[in-house]
Amino acid sequence: MRKFINKILFWLNIFSIVFLLLSYLSSYISPKDNTILPLFGLLYQYILLVNILFVVFWIFRKKFLFLLSLITILIGWNFFNNFFQFRLPNNSSINKTLNVNTFKLLSYNVRLFDLYNWSHNKETRNKIFDYIKSQDADILCFQEFYNDETNSFSTLDTIVKFQKAKNFHDAYTYHVHGVYHFGIVTFSSYPIVGKGEIRFKQTNNICVYTDIKINNDTIRIYNNHLQSIHLQKEDYKFIDNINNEKEKIKGAENIVKRLKIAYKERAHQAEIISNNIKKSPYPVIVCGDFNDTPDSYVYRKMRNDFKDAFVTGGSGFGNTYNSNITGFRIDYLLYDNFFKASNFKVSRIKYSDHFPVQCRFEIRE
């Protein structure tokens, strides 16, 4: 009997190894060519955990089979590195130093400042405002930004009033009655000397790039909001309460269908943005909500040869998606070698479905 159980566990281990290898492969093959592989990339952290458990199990059983999963994990060490950092949290101040070439950047998907929570939206909005004030950032990049011109839920003018970053580059993908605007914005305490945007057909996603003059240097900030999954209410019910067998199947099919559509669209968007980044005449920082994990084709395309501020200065898991299920890291700060990064931080405030990320950057001399 014991021999039979070991045999089953061995084959389960083999399957988990194959799944882990497929998750690695998902970052190299476009979802436009294969929509199944990205699902393995999405589940990377769970597949990784299963393989770690097999390593521990076989070690306790004093069998060299632990090497199978261990070697597979080590093959994908870069993926693990993007997922988890063995570093103690840096609780030191992230305020601007005396170095004139140092600046603090904050990126945050504010989810329309909780606009549709009609009974408490202004309360949430004001909490977000208080958080922004307290951070005193030099450059701020907001995704899912909302502003109206009726003064009933004003955000743009209010933010300009209470913070030092008074220059802004806003772009909107959706308008209602000409006074309600939905889009993206970058604020800067430094002069903005150039603006550009990348729009995508039949979608409300957008990328804006902003050229900012910092003393004698000009840098370019890419602020991105890529395709989301667009889960419906019934999808969230499925995630929170999986009881009925038929509902399980239907709910899973709906979510997988939406995932596949989003994967293809994001891949297309990432390729366009990546090509634009390569043509930048200035040093670049790329930030925003990519809506995809570090073990994905989108992340690899957007990162190019850049450094990831979480990898160079983060700690723990670095998840940025505020969810009841295990969090994912889908918001990023990427930068090229023109900069040095320090004091990376994820602020786990629950005013949105995303956590803000921030970092201090220094222009190399």
Q: Which domains does the chain carry?
A: 2-83 (no CATH), 102-363 (3.60.10.10)
Distance in angstroms (rounded) separating the CA atoms of residues 348 and 22: 31
Confidence at residue 96, expressed as pLDDT on a 0 to 100 scale = 45
Using the predicted structure, report yes or no on whether residue 33 has a pLDDT greater than 50. Answer: yes
Give 203 or 152, the one with higher predicted confidence. 203
Q: Could you tell me the pLDDT band of residue 39, with boundaries at 50, 70 and 90?
A: very high
Q: Could you tell me the pLDDT band of residue 139, with boundaries at 50, 70 and 90?
A: very high
For the segment 43-61, the average pLDDT, to the nearest whole number, is 96
Using the predicted structure, report yes or no on whether residue 3 has a pLDDT greater than 90. Answer: no
For the segment 30-59, the average pLDDT, to the nearest whole number, is 96
Using the predicted structure, report yes or no on whether residue 34 has a pLDDT greater than 90. Answer: yes
Distance in angstroms (rounded) separating the CA atoms of residues 266 and 275: 14
Which of the residue ranges 27-31, 158-162, 166-170, 284-288 would you say has the lowest mean pLDDT?
A: 158-162
Confidence at residue 40, expressed as pLDDT on a 0 to 100 scale = 97
Q: Could you tell me the pLDDT band of residue 54, with boundaries at 50, 70 and 90?
A: very high
Using the predicted structure, report yes or no on whether residue 27 has a pLDDT greater than 60. Answer: yes
Q: Could you tell me the pLDDT band of residue 249, with boundaries at 50, 70 and 90?
A: confident
Give the tens place of pLDDT for each residue, 77-101.
Answer: 999 999 999 987 765 544 444 578 9
Confidence at residue 229, expressed as pLDDT on a 0 to 100 scale = 82
Which of the residue ranges 72-76, 147-151, 159-163, 284-288 would you say has the lowest mean pLDDT?
A: 147-151
pTM for this entry = 0.92
Give the tens place of pLDDT for each residue, 319-347.
Answer: 999 987 667 999 999 999 999 999 999 99
Confidence at residue 125, expressed as pLDDT on a 0 to 100 scale = 94
